[in-house]
């Protein structure tokens, strides 16, 4: 009744909103659907990219932290983001595009049992393009002003890689608590899916001993998984607590409601509702063009804007 529906969004740290904006809008062709601030620290931008309306399952979000240092990679971290493209021809298209724009990338290979093209953004965030096996995110809406031809556009989040010391702990949390299904398993990695045969809720768990990752530019702060509405969120809040995890309780983020908890390896997981969405305070045409603030921060607009890089410098 209250199933996990797949990925909702994933949130990272960037050193420069301007460079980040160029990479995701111009090079990757995503739509910037919301410019707002970190609600817990309004001195920093929070940028959202996705499809036409930033549909759940398409959202890549970034906190701008100009003073952030480098990432020291290690274990107990979310370590790679998969993005779905329509075909193997798309991988060829993207490889040529990455060469044109001098994007760090590897050769076409196989990842999570699919044809793949690993690459990194300007912060060193690790991503991989994965080929669809016919899957379609049912509510995906293409953005006609994308820099990418429709036949090669990114169709949403795919496999999310999480690297941990205690693989079985994370696997049990996802399968026993949230109902994910194991679709592939070895001693060193497990693939689970929120919905069978649906890459839009797929997580690849990898085992790695060693030091915990020290986050910095290009590191991933948390992954958010989808639920339908607040009723479902209330249910999962109770289940998370019953499992012995400390829940943040339900937080109203204005564009959706959510809760956060850390699983046993320290991975931050958010559970977020599908709505109301990014058009709650802006029309479709105006999405992502100006700074939007939730009502509880609107009275501080002048103070907040004074501490941010002017938006026109990000364009």
Summarised one tens digit per residue, pLDDT across range 143-180 is 999 999 999 999 999 999 999 999 999 999 999 999 99
Q: What are phi and psi of 271, to 5 degrees?
A: -115, 125
CA distance 43 to 34: 16
Q: What is the band of 313 on the pLDDT scale with cuts at 50, 70, 90? A: confident
Domain range 7-313, CATH architecture: Roll (3.10)
Give the model confidence (pLDDT) of 126-144 as tens digits.
Answer: 999 999 999 989 999 999 9
Per-domain residue ranges for the chain? Answer: 7-313
Give the model confidence (pLDDT) of 267-277 as tens digits.
Answer: 999 999 999 99
Please state the rounded mean pLDDT for residues 89-93.
Answer: 98
Cβ atoms of 204 and 191 within 8 Å: the answer is yes
Residue 312 has pLDDT above 80, yes or no: no
Cβ atoms of 292 and 282 within 8 Å: the answer is yes
CA distance 25 to 217: 19
Beta strand 114-120 with 126-131 is antiparallel
Q: Residue with structure tokens 């995906």?
A: 140
| H-run or E-run covering 207 | strand 202-207
Q: What is the band of 250 on the pLDDT scale with cuts at 50, 70, 90? A: very high
* 203, two tokens: 């997580």
Report the 10 Å Cβ neighbour count for 198: 14
Q: pTM, whole model, 2 decimals?
A: 0.97
Q: What is the band of 315 on the pLDDT scale with cuts at 50, 70, 90? A: confident
* 31, two tokens: 């739509």
């Amino acid at each position: 009744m209250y199933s996990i529906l797949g990925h909702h969004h994933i949130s990272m740290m960037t050193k420069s909103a301007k460079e980040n904006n160029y990479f995701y809008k111009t090079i990757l062709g995503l739509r910037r659907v919301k410019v707002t601030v970190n609600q817990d620290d309004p001195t920093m931008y929070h940028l959202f990219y996705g499809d036409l309306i930033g549909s759940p399952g398409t959202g890549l979000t970034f906190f701008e932290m100009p003073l952030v240092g480098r990432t020291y990679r290690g274990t107990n971290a979310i370590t790679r983001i998969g993005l779905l493209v329509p075909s193997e021809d798309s991988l060829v298209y993207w490889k040529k595009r990455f060469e044109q724009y001098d994007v760090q990338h590897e050769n076409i290979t196989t990842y999570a049992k699919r044809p793949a093209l690993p690459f990194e953004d300007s912060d060193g965030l690790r991503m991989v393009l994965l080929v669809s096996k016919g899957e379609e995110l049912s509510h995906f809406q293409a953005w006609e002003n994308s820099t990418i031809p429709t036949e090669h556009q990114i169709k949403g989040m795919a496999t999310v890689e999480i690297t941990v010391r205690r693989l079985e702990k994370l696997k049990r949390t996802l399968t026993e608590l949230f109902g994910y299904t194991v679709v592939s398993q070895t001693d060193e990695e497990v693939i689970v899916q929120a919905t069978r045969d649906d890459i839009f809720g797929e997580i690849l768990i990898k085992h790695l001993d060693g030091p915990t990752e020290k986050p910095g530019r290009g590191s991933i702060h948390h992954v958010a998984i989808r639920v339908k509405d607040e009723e479902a969120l209330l249910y999962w809040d109770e289940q998370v607590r019953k499992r012995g995890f400390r829940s943040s309780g339900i937080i109203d983020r204005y564009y959706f409601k959510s809760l956060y908890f850390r699983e046993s390896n320290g991975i931050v997981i958010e559970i977020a509702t599908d709505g109301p969405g990014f058009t709650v305070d802006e029309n479709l045409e105006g999405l992502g063009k100006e700074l939007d603030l939730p009502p509880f921060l609107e009275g501080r607009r002048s103070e907040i804007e004074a501490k941010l890089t002017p938006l026109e410098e990000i364009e």
